[in-house]
Amino acid sequence: MSQTIATPPTVRLDSDVLGKPISRTDGPAKVSGAAKYAAEFGVTGPLWYGYIVSSPIAKGKITKIHADEVLAIPGVQHIFSHENVPSLAWFDRNYKDDVAPGGSPFRPLHEPEILFSLQPVALVVADTFELARYAASVLRIEYDVEKHNTDLEASIGEAYDAPRGKTGFMPPPKPKGDMDKAYQEAPHKIAGEYIHRAQHQNPMEMFATTVDWLGDGKKMKIYDKTQGAPNVQQYLMKIFSLSTDEARVISKFTGGGFGSGLRPQYQVFLAVMAALELKHSIRVVMTRTQMFSFGHRPHTLQKLRLATDDLGQIQALEHKALHETSQFENYTETIVNWAGVLYPSPNTNFDYQLAKLDVYSPLDMRAPGAATGSFALESAIDEMAYAANVDPLDFRLRNYSYEDPIENKPFTSKRLDDCLHEGAARFGWDQRNPEPRSMRDGNQLVGWGVAAGCWDASMQKAAAKAVLSADGHLTVSSATNDQGAGTYVIMTQMAAQTLGLPMKQVTFNLGDTNMPAAPVQGGSWTANSVGAAVKDACQGIGKKLLKLAQKMDNSPLAGVDFEDAQFVDGYIRANEDITRSVAIADILAASGEEKIEADGKAGPNPINMLKYSMHSHNAVFVEVKVDEDLGTIHVTRVVNAVAAGRIMNPKTARSQVLGGTVWGLSMALMEETYLNNELGRFMNHNYAEYHIPVNADIHKIDVIFVEEQDDIASPIGVKGVGEIGMLGVAAAIANAVYHATGKRVRELPLTSDKLL
């Protein structure tokens, strides 16, 4: 069979930008201090400041608030508490946001009851920040204290199967075969218990809201720190009975989120309530301590059992997890399912439970569930490989899932094998002596470890609007977010590429609820979902331009279908004969139109979701050096090989994976929020005592993007890179520490005391 295929154009100039390492378009604003974050916007009239007072107890009831003595201070405007909170929406559903777990969302200042330590109990409003802070510090509050329980390990007996309720929650897979029998009969087996305590997202920017009271009915401009302005807007509209016009939420720059900004936080509730009650502009900023009061990666206990046959083939696989939730919501994440996706086994068992404690609900934190599960799973795989006397890299290839073993569906694409091969080659894995404690550098024990990772490649509904003005400038907008992921630049690239315009002729705007709706930025789905919507909007413009071109006298494009046209360097050309072309500028001039507009949308393909399993993958290789006497651990080298479909911008995508690697290192060696069960309180609630890496902790990190084509997981071939870079890192470090020292540590963070 022969077919004539038009030769695609090989020469592309300014407009060939997708997949190129282009610097962030928002970069100059960020490095010059011009980028405005939530607490930095000016308002039309005078601005008042709100300072939040937090509960010092974990459970009980407020019996008295001595507000009068503080209200007597000149310049103090108001004190909000449960005693004077206005009557608001009653039903739980009004307080539910897009990311809310099942249960009853926390309602700030609604009741005197204290449900968790650092619960907001009052908002002091004053003329200046200094005065509000001072007034809050002298506000006396009396409590009746009740006995709290924040001890997860003491609550295992009351644990229950994690219920449905949170969007996207996947219950643990059903068991297969006979796990216990297979485990008992297998020649090689391991079992282990893994633990890490709470961790907090701790983005650099503290949660903040500036409400600009516009003095026109209830109209407000609400500048909020969030990962999704539309989610915040819906939440506020439902609680305060506001229209979209009244509650316009704006979030142009977000100083990091890592999941903490997925849900509207209580400062936005307090700021909007105060603005509506006082009819005045107000700014409310949390303190760093208060950043430890509204969600965290939960304290998680995991158990794994693995067994293989003589050939090192997995015969039995069991993964169980248990973590806390609050008294009022059932927070869930996907922890144990990944084991079933990555490794086929004829006999499996999975279990996932929650226990209620007197703490705030946990909250998605970068690679939620997967980072937790991956640490335990990939540590156990390493241990199993040693027990079966197989190289840990070979073991992963020998137990490779070529289709999703849980759902019995093919993967849309899975280049994990290439990640393992290319990563190993770059790292020099073949030089590894598998014997623990066999490699040295002076008094440093050297260890090399490997681990694999897996994350969902998913899409959400998203919309965008494109406007091409008469001067040829294209402006595209979507109410999405850029918490540092690079959304501004990759969407500009997508728009420029689709219409064949140079980058400087394209502007992408985001973070305003007046723009077409987009999902919260999370789950690694922004590039895929918003990218496809932007492309759709720009193609809408392209179709209109082509029609206008065909109306021109003697149009060279007469009779050319949109599918047979290309948009390159400011021209529309016929694919089959690129000399048949018209300049977009000429089309605009001839049309006499002031502007051309088009809406675009994108969403998941339900048929493909039924037929296929969609994932991104990575393989991480790590070198650690452990001081033999002191047990101090340095991660001296990391290779992180990622297969995540099309990479829209290797520069910003590499940064995402670098950041993910640092996060994995941080989880492995440093992060832990210490909960004192006597006080029911997180004790190290500041940046000095909650440890994260500094520059001196980070050494050579190599990022590889493995070539991967996938037109099914995404109409634009993109799987997203926000989470995948973090996966595998913590386990690879723990495995490298085992290789260096011969000691298997199953508790994070892996601090030197655990090696001594």
Partner 1 sequence: MSQTFIQEPLDKAAPHVVPAQAVTLNVNGEDHTIQIAPWTSLLDALREYLNLTGTKKGCDHGQCGACTVLVDGKRINSCLALATVYQGKKIQTIEGLGAEDNLSPLQQAFVDHDAFQCGYCTPGQICSAQGLINEGRCKTEDEVREHMSGNLCRCGAYTNILSAVMEVLHDGNVVVDNGVLITIPVAPTKASSAE
- 285 to 314, contacts with partner 1 by CB under 8 A? 285, 287-288
323: which residues sit within 8 A by CB, 6+ positions away?
152, 298, 299, 300, 301, 335, 354, 355, 362, 372
Helix pair angle (729-741, 650-669), 10° resolution: 50
Q: What count of Cα atoms within 13 Å lies in the side-chain half-sphere of residue 257?
A: 33
Residue 683 binds to partner 1 (criterion: CB under 8 A) = no
Residue 666 interacting with partner 1 (CB under 8 A) = yes
C-alpha neighbours within 13 Å on the C-beta side of residue 138: 12
Question: Is residue 663 a contact point for partner 1 (CB under 8 A)?
Answer: yes
Q: Which is nearer to partner 1, 286 or 393 (CB)?
A: 286
Pairing state between β 47-54 and 281-285: parallel
- Is residue 749 at the binding interface for partner 1, with CB under 8 A as the rule? no
CB nearer to partner 1: give 112 or 603. 112
Tell whether residue 503 is a contact of partner 1 (CB under 8 A).
no
Determine which residue in the list 661, 673, 714, 735 makes contact with partner 1, applying CB under 8 A.
661
- Per-residue interface string for the shown chain with partner 1, residues 229-268, x marking contact by CB under 8 A: ------------------------xxxxxx----------
Segment contacting partner 1 (CB under 8 A): 67-75, 181-189, 302-310, 534-542? Answer: 67-75
The two structure tokens encoding residue 498: 């689709």
Binding flag, residue 408, partner 1 (CB under 8 A): no
Residue 432 φ/ψ, nearest 5 degrees: -80, 130
Please identify which residue in 12, 16, 19, 29 interacts with partner 1, judged by CB under 8 A: 29
- Least distance to partner 1, CB of residue 292, Å: 12
| Cβ closest to partner 1, residue 84 vs residue 137 | 137
Q: Are 6 and 575 in contact (CB under 8 A)?
A: yes
Q: 193, 407, 723, 747: which one is catalytic?
A: 723
707 among known catalytic residues: no
Indicate whether 1 belongs to the interface with partner 1 (CB under 8 A): no
Q: Using the minimum distance from each CB to partner 1, give the nearer residue, 253 or 411.
A: 253
Smallest distance, partner 1 to C-beta of residue 369, A: 20
Closer by beta carbon to partner 1, 552 or else 658: 658
Q: With contact defined as beta carbons under 8 Å apart, do 596 and 468 qualify?
A: yes
**Is the distance from CB of 646 to CB of 716 less than 8 angstroms?**
yes
């065909």: which residue's tokens? 550
| Closer residue to partner 1, CB minimum distance, 6 or 145 | 145
Site string for partner 1, 635-654 (x = CB under 8 A): ----------------xx-x
Choices 52-60, 82-90, 302-310, 327-335 (CB under 8 A): range interacting with partner 1: 52-60
Among 5, 72, 607, 756, binds partner 1 (CB under 8 A): 72
Site for partner 1 in 177-206 (CB under 8 A): 202-206
- SS3 state at 465: strand
Helix (H, G, I), strand (E, B) or coil at 385: helix
Nearer to partner 1, 209 or 656 (CB): 656
Alpha-carbon dihedral sign for residues 121, 124, 130, 131: negative
The footprint of partner 1 on residues 470-499 (CB under 8 A) is 483-486
Residues β-bridged to residue 396: none
Q: List binders of partner 1 among 691-720 (CB under 8 A).
A: 692-702
Q: What is the DSSP string of 43-80?
A: -SS-EEEEEEEE-SSSSEEEEEEEHHHHHTSTTEEEEE
CB of 74 to partner 1, least distance (A): 7
Give the nearest distance from C-beta 658 to partner 1 in angstroms: 5
Distance CA 573, CA 579 (A): 7
- Which of 19, 56, 165, 410 is close enough to bind partner 1 by CB under 8 A? 56
User: Which is nearer to partner 1, 141 or 170 (by Cβ)?
Assistant: 141
Q: Which of residues 96-135 bind partner 1 (CB under 8 A)?
A: 128-131, 134-135
Question: Contacting partner 1 (CB under 8 A), which of 6, 9, 13, 28?
Answer: 28
Using rule CB under 8 A, residue 425 touches partner 1: no
The b-or-e profile of 113-130 (16+ CB within 10 A means b, else e) is ebbbbbbbbbbbbbeebe
Applying CB under 8 A, among 67, 139, 271, 390 the residue interacting with partner 1 is: 139
Q: What span, in angstroms and rounded, lies between the C-alpha atoms of 198 and 299? A: 4
Q: What is the CA radius of gyration of the chain?
A: 28
Among 17, 18, 57, 307, binds partner 1 (CB under 8 A): 57
The total of other beta-carbon atoms located within 10 Å of residue 294's CB is 23
> Whose Cβ is closer to partner 1: residue 254's or residue 618's?
254
Q: Is 23 in the site for partner 1 (CB under 8 A)?
A: yes
Separation CA 497–CA 491 (nearest Å): 10
Q: Which residues pair with 356 in a beta bridge?
A: 325
Q: Which is nearer to partner 1, 652 or 741 (CB)?
A: 652
Q: Are 272 and 124 in contact (CB under 8 A)?
A: no
Window 526 to 555, contacts with partner 1 (CB under 8 A): none
CB atoms within 10 A of CB 295: 24
For residue 396, the number of C-alpha atoms closer than 13 Å in the C-beta half-sphere is: 29
From candidates 63, 184, 389, 433, binder to partner 1 by CB under 8 A: 63
Catalytic residue numbers? 723
